[in-house]
A = this chain, B = another copy of it.
Amino acid sequence: MTQKVDTLFTNAIVLTMDGKLNQYDPGAVAIKGDMIVAVGAQEKIVQEYSADEVIDCDGKVLMPGLVNAHTHVPMTLLRGLADDLRLDVWLMGYMLPVEREFVSPEFVRLGTLLACAEQIRSGVTTFNDMYFFEDDIAQATADAGMRAVCGQSVMKYPAPDAPSFEVSLAMARAFIKKWKGHPLIVPAVAPHAPYSTTPEILRSCAELAKEFDVPLHIHISETAFEVENMRNEQGMPVVPYVKKQGLFEAKVIAAHCVHIDIGEMRTLKHANAGISHNPSSNLKLASGFAPVQKMLDVGLNVGIGTDGPASNNDLDMFEEVRLASFVAKASSNDPTVVPAATALLMATRMGAQALHMGDITGSLEVGKRADLILVDTSSVHSSPRFHRDPHNAYAQLVFSSKSTDVTDVMVNGKWLMRDHNLLTLNEKELLIQARELAQKIDAFLITREQSVLSKLIALGGSMEQESFEVQIKVKVANPDALIESMTRPEIEINAYKHYHQYDEYYMFEDLSQGRLRFREDNLINTKGESESVRSRLTLLGQKREGEIQDVLLSRSRFLAPAVHTSRFYREYFKPAKEISVEKDRLRWHIQYREIDFFINLDHVKQPEMGSFLEIKSRTWSRKDADHKAQLVNELLDLLGVGSAEIVTQDYIEILAA
């Protein structure tokens, strides 16, 4: 008498991915409710079990569904939006501005459903997410029928779903309470990263995770820059720092871990932290090569993740598994490391263990949930197939199979895809909605990118300064004599400063865009040392309002503190041309006939252009400007350069000519 089950898979190449990496060919698997009740050689299983639904797998591979160990599913809607950029330009120039504008419960729901469609199609049954409005993500995931760890983000900055981290933490608590115990969703808290949180946030998140026994999902040591900053600021690398905040009292899932040392690996192992290795993202953003083989040697559970589709640009775990093997080989100069079986294990059982769900999913074993996929390995790109060695089956899947070879997907005993047809999602409708949203995002960015000015404003922090200036510049043959004449009694000195200035001018093909100046100002003290440095970005208008008595009337438009490097701005604004100028500037703030003037004595050193005197004063009307222009000419005479050659161009115009 056979035992009755719900579904019986027969005639399959069964890759269990269990502790012994058992394979059965032909093999069979029996499912009852949401559980796997039998796995083994077909001959044996069909004698013991019967079912109404018998699936003849026709020689396909039957294996556990893949585990995507780190992603941000709603970012599916931002894929292909901005690529081939450095992390900061990509994040601060594109992702954050667009997220500030568009991320909402509706956005994350649509992005999650789209991501579920793609992941189901490519054989993913479980994923580990971190984003905003995670309650809506969890609901959409459950609706799609997928299994996921859903981590509500907490950061020290205002987020799209919360004005402060206190609100985020309260949201995370309510979210965890609501979803704890759900058959598909494991709620989690996700302090974004050590650099984007505070010790208080990390401690609170760890306590929350501990209180509810849920995972804590965090980015760790993704870039060398992050580690360098942590060392500079805290005197230690990232893992000891988060340990100090009590993070490892929780069940941690650490994404990336590209730049960690052997001691940090041991700390992570001791804490039973799971790792997500994200090869595509690490390559595309040039974050580096994660020490995968070393982490495996230490005994860490290393899963594989796609990261968000905005930095990948897809959710294709077949591609990630192959890359996990390829990149480990190349970066360690040893083609024998991370062989196919290991890579596939990382994406199945070990990935589930990394998510602290090893008891539930990740392998075809009796008592685990029925999370499984069928993969057609008979197509031309997978042919022929060798049988000599059990390793051949893994090599075929890892090195030749494509995500599009996945034909059927079951999660928790429920079908999500049969013969390439999605059963829980309306893919057509999702594609239409995604297209409509993309058009809005395109329009938003097109508006923003229409001018250098709007791109500057989009970065935040810039200040309009619509000043008109009276200005004259003359060539100075004898700077020392001029400095001497600054002591004349008619001139009242309010302030005197010595600067060393490095200017980078970015010029654009459309001259009406103006020129952008990145200036690094070094204040030099009386000992000749640099006392302080500040960087400013100024958008200079191209047009001049007119000239009066050799005195120019110009308008400087937008000022912003330059919080990023000149490299950032260069990559963000993509100028057609750049010119650098280095000069020494003596700057006096004086009064002459009760009118404020700024006098700059510049020695342009790089390129060597000699010395120049600039006299400037703010103005507000044509009449006022006429008066001040008169005073400027008097000042020139006073300073002994009344007959000097007048220079009508900026240094940059002389150089650009």
Contacts and interface: CB of A to CB of B under 8 A. Distances in A.
B83 A380 contact: no
A319 interface: yes
Contacts of A392: 80-81
Interface string A84-127: 11110010000000000000000000000010011001100000
A400 B340 CA distance: 23
A80 B385 contact: yes
A313 B289 CA distance: 22
B286 A329 contact: yes
Interface in A417-472: 427, 430-431, 434-435, 437-438, 441-442, 445-446, 449
A326 B392 CA distance: 27
Nearest to A396: B80
A238 interface: no
Interface string A165-189: 0000000000000000000000000
A527 interface: no
B381 A326 contact: no
Given A427-B380, A442-B386, A399 B312 contact: yes
A396 B333 CA distance: 31
A607 interface: no
A361 interface: no
Given A87-B335, A289-B330, A403-B402, A314 B395 contact: no
Contacts of A336: 84-86, 571
Interface stretch (A277-285, A582-590, A633-641): A277-285
Contacts of A488: none
A333 B449 CA distance: 27
B402 A332 contact: no
B446 A388 contact: yes
Contact of A286 (B117, B333, B382): B333
Given A378-B431, A404-B404, A445-B388, A84 B280 contact: no
Nearest to A79: B400
A334 interface: yes
A315 interface: yes
Contacts of A442: 386-388
A399 B121 contact: no
B329 A283 contact: yes
Interface string A44-85: 000000000000000000000000000000000101110111
A327 interface: yes
A117 B283 contact: no
Contacts of A386: 80-81, 438, 441-442
Contacts of A287: 330
Nearest to A281: B326
A382 B435 CA distance: 11
Contacts of A314: 381, 399-400
Contact of A288 (B330, B387, B430, B446): B330
A171 B122 CA distance: 47
B285 A399 contact: no
A339 interface: yes
A4 interface: no
A619 B430 CA distance: 84
Interface string A383-416: 1111110011001100110111000000000000
A504 interface: no
Contacts of A286: 329-330, 332-335
6 closest cross-chain pairs (CB), A and B? A384-B438, A84-B339, A283-B326, A313-B399, A286-B335, A83-B395
Given A80-B396, A81-B388, A388-B449, 19 more contacts: A80-B386, A80-B399, A81-B392, A83-B391, A84-B335, A84-B336, A84-B395, A118-B380, A121-B380, A283-B326, A284-B335, A286-B332, A286-B334, A287-B330, A312-B399, A314-B399, A327-B330, A383-B434, A385-B438
12 contacts: A79-B399, A80-B384, A80-B392, A80-B399, A83-B395, A84-B339, A86-B334, A86-B335, A289-B330, A378-B431, A385-B438, A388-B442
